[in-house]
Structure formats: C-alpha cells, structure tokens
Amino acid sequence: MSILIYLILGLLTSLLFPPYFFLPLGFIIFPSLCFLLDSNKKNYSNKNIFKKFSIFGFGFFISYLFWVKNPFFVFEETKNFFLVFLLLIILLSVILGLIFTIIFKLGKNIPIIFLVPFMFISSEYIISILFYGFPWFTFSLLLSSNEYLLFSLKSFGTLFSSYLIIQILCIPFIFLTKENFKQELKYLSLFIALPIIILLIANFNLEKNNFKIKTINMEIFQLNFKNNDQFLTPEKKLQRIIKHINESTADLLIFGENNFPYLVDDLELKIIKDSLKENQTLIIGATRYENNKYYNSLININSVNVTYFDKKILVPFGEFLPLRDTLTFLETIAGQNDYSKGKVERIINLSNNINFIPVICYEIIFYWKLLNKFNNNGNFIINITNDFWFGLYLGPYQHFYLTKIRAAEFNKPIIRVSNNGISAVIDNKGAVLNKTRLNKTENFKHKLSLKENKNYVNFHSIFKIYLFIIFTFCIFYYLRKNA
C-alpha cells in the first residue's frame, strides 16, 4: 500500500510543472512526504528508502518525461525502439532513489522539514551534472507561470530558487506536529527571510540603472517544416525562405534550427546573401560540414559576410552516439554520423556595437554553461530550436518555460525561434511579449528594446555555499541536541 502512495505522490508532483501548474497540490504533496518520512523514521531502512523513492521517481518521471518517446515515432525505422525511453525513466528513478537514501542516512537527525528540500535539490543538481547532464528537472520551473515571482531567479539562480520553493511547500507540515514547533519555525524563518531580503535589495539595484540603448526591428519566421515530409523538397524549402526575405523590411530576420535545407560546406550561402537588403541580417540554423566533421550551427548572414556558432552541448543518442564502436546496434536510432562540438566563443557581433549570445536547442537548459567573461555583457540571447521532436503537448511547453526562466535568471531578453513553435520574444523579466502557436506556420514582427541589463549570475554560486552552510548547521545542531 505504501508503495502505491509513493507512486501516486510522484505522479501528482509532475502536475506542479508545465504545462499544468497545479501549484496548490504542492502544499499537499510535500507535507505528505514529510509526514510519511517522519512517522516512519525509525522503521525505514536504507532499502526501504531506496525502494519507496525510486517508485516515487518513476511515477514522477514517467509522467513528466513521457514525451521522450516521441522522437522514436518520427521515422518508420525507429518506431519499434520506442520503449527505449523507459530506460531513461528507470535510470533517473534509480538515481533519485540512491540520492534520497544517502541524504536521509546523512541527515537522519535533522528535522524532516529541512531534510526533504535537501533531498530534492541534491537530486536536481546531481541529475544535472551526472554523465552528460540532464537539467530538465528543476523546481524553479514552478515559478515560470508567474512573471511576478520569476524575478527571484535574477538574485538566486536556478538551484537556490528550487530550494526556496520546496522549503515553502513543506511549511504546512510544521502545523501537523507540535514537536520542536517553535524552534523549527524560528530557523525556518531565518533561512527563508534572509534570502528574501537579499532578493528585494538586489532587484531594486538591478532595475534602477536599466537605460535603453537601442531598438532592433526584427521579424521571426516559424516555418513549421516537418522532418518526415517527403514532399517538401529542399528546393521548396529554400524558395519559401527566399520569399520571406524578399517580403521582409525588418533589420534582423530569424529562422529556426536547421531550417536551411542544404549542407553548408563553404559558408558563402550566396543565394541568401544576394537576397538580403543592404541593412539586413539573417540568422538561420543549418548543418555545417568542415574538415570531415558535421556541426549543428547557427549561421549569421548579411550582404557582406557570414559568421557562425557551432553547438557545443550535443544531445547524446540524438546528435552523437556514446561508445559508438560498442553500441553499434543503436545506430538505427542515433544515425551513422556524429555531430562535433563547436569551438567558437558563444558571442556574435551585429552592427552598431550590438551583440547577442547564440544558443541552439536544448543548450538553453544548461544554465551554468552559457555565460562567461566573454559574453556576460551580451545584449540579448537568440535561441533557435526545432521542437518537432518533442511531440504535441508536454515536451514543447516544458522547453518553452525553461527558456522563460533563463531570461529572468540572466536578466537578458531571449528571442526564441522554433521551427514549429513555440517561438517568442521574452523580456529580461521572463515576460512573453509576443509568441506563436505550437505547430503553426507563422511569422511576426517585433521592435526589441535593448537596455544595459546587468546580472548577478557570478554570485549565484554563493547561494550554493549558503545551502551547504544550512545543511551543515542542521546536522551539527541536531546532533549536539540529540547527543
């Protein structure tokens, strides 16, 4: 019976995330987890904790990541392999179960109200960096539906925002037990009140010097090309692109990932360059070929020259096959050729001292890998993607909301252009200024106002240290108290 309860709680937890956002459920789910763990604290062995939270993880991930099966149904030859997606679900569930078991053992003397948030954020962090990393699972996503709450990401970053959310959702548990009520409430208030004060001060400082420096007239094109459409030839695709260029009066034209229908091997792209007006710049995704290597690239074209950025964070089993010589049986899924990692810095200069940070597809979820000393002052981000692989419901919306939290976290506008949607202009606060519908052929114009937006990305790591201090304090305080 208890196994079924943990499975149901896992399934319900997925409903807190996009596209559902049933957030009040969190004030039931997390106090319930606290109660289950606290009431059975002495009876739970390591084996029990591992089993129960592996089941919880399976319930959560099978619902949250059910869309992962969709890429297998794009082509006939991969349909029979769709159950492979269950391996990812099981792997993530086992990792979550192991992490919960270790944290529970280390902190068994810590009150559950503090221990449960640490279990979840430890899982979130380790899953983000383990193997090739998969930071798709973050509780900071719960803020993405509320643009008034998104500003917390500017001050705290992704991980600490997740901690605050889970800690707040656990608060009702305090009122279910009278043991150590005043003591726990006092320390809980301290741990949460201090960051909130910092947040308010930081937000005020960020907003007071945001001076407008320039406006860019742009047009976004969502072509909605289908990867498995045999009747849409490369010639027809190029004709459609050229038609859009000829009709556009915008200064900056942006298309989606891999919308250029031919292999780019010389970077001249003469047909595109000849179609552009003197003041226009075009950005489009393409597969680039150089020195016998393939690159997933963002191409930046004007009438004079061509620059590019090659994707640096590649999708395992999608853009390359790990241990290819050993896992040859998976070539049906991953293809016979691997993409290579790019080496060019993640910054592209436009005219008039304006530059942008190029991000391709799911690179946008790797928040700690996108900004550095070379591009931290970039004016805005352009994220090109092709969410055709993600299905019709869960995947594209999760990917879109992950992009929203990056805009707020980095305090930079993001221009998101997907082949099939959702394409959008997102301001530096995470607010959507304009967007398209999913799986529709659409385009729209937008005047992007650029400001001198500073950010606190370099300070977000301090809050990881703060989390460590809180956890260490809890361990030593409650060990001494129970000695």
pLDDT digits (tens, 9 = 90+) for 120-158: 999 999 999 998 899 999 999 999 998 888 988 988 899
What is the model's pLDDT at position 210?
A: 59
Picking from 162, 167, 360, 152, the residue whose alpha carbon sits closest to that of residue 256 is: 360
- If asked whether residues 248 and 188 sit together in one domain, one would say no
- If asked whether residues 186 and 81 sit together in one domain, one would say yes
Residue 48: give the domain boundaries: 2-207+460-481
How confident is the model over 353-363, as pLDDT tens digits?
899 999 999 99
- If asked whether residues 297 and 445 sit together in one domain, one would say yes
- If asked whether residues 316 and 186 sit together in one domain, one would say no
What is the model's pLDDT at position 51?
A: 94
- If asked whether residues 404 and 256 sit together in one domain, one would say yes
Residue length of the chain: 483
Q: Cβ contacts of residue 116 below 8 Å, gap of 6+?
A: 30, 33, 34, 37, 166, 170
Task: Tokens for 253, please give them.
Answer: 């034209």
- If asked whether residues 348 and 243 sit together in one domain, one would say yes
Can you tell me the distance from the alpha carbon of 421 to that of 400, in angstroms, rounded to the nearest whole number?
9
Q: What's 407's domain CATH number?
A: 3.60.110.10
Considering only 298-312, 325-339, 398-412, which range has the smallest mean pLDDT?
325-339
Q: Please report which residue ranges of 173-314 form alpha helices under DSSP H.
A: 181-208, 234-247, 270-275
- If asked whether residues 190 and 277 sit together in one domain, one would say no
In this model, does residue 290 exceed pLDDT 80? Answer: yes
- If asked whether residues 287 and 302 sit together in one domain, one would say yes
Between 301 and 330, residue with greater pLDDT: 301
Under the banding of pLDDT at 50, 70 and 90, the label for residue 231 is: confident
Can you tell me the distance from the alpha carbon of 49 to that of 415, in angstroms, rounded to the nearest whole number?
43
Query: What residues form DSSP beta bridges with 359?
Result: 383
Q: Cβ contacts of residue 330 below 8 Å, gap of 6+?
A: 317, 321
Reported pTM: 0.92
Picking from 68, 55, 32, the residue whose alpha carbon sits closest to that of residue 172 is: 32
Q: Is the dihedral of CA 206, 212, 213, 217 positive or negative?
A: positive
- If asked whether residues 417 and 447 sit together in one domain, one would say yes
Under the banding of pLDDT at 50, 70 and 90, the label for residue 477 is: low
Task: Tokens for 325, please give them.
Answer: 């010589």
Task: Tokens for 231, please give them.
Answer: 């009747």
Contact 384, 224 (CB under 8 A): no
Give the three-class secondary structure for 125.
helix
Concatenating the DSSP letter of every residue in 206-247 gives HHHT--EEEEEEEEEEE----TT-TTS-HHHHHHHHHHHHHH
In this model, does residue 317 exceed pLDDT 90? Answer: no
Can you tell me the distance from the alpha carbon of 88 to that of 92, in angstroms, rounded to the nearest whole number?
6
| Residue 303 main-chain phi, psi, to 5 deg | -70, -10
- If asked whether residues 464 and 448 sit together in one domain, one would say no
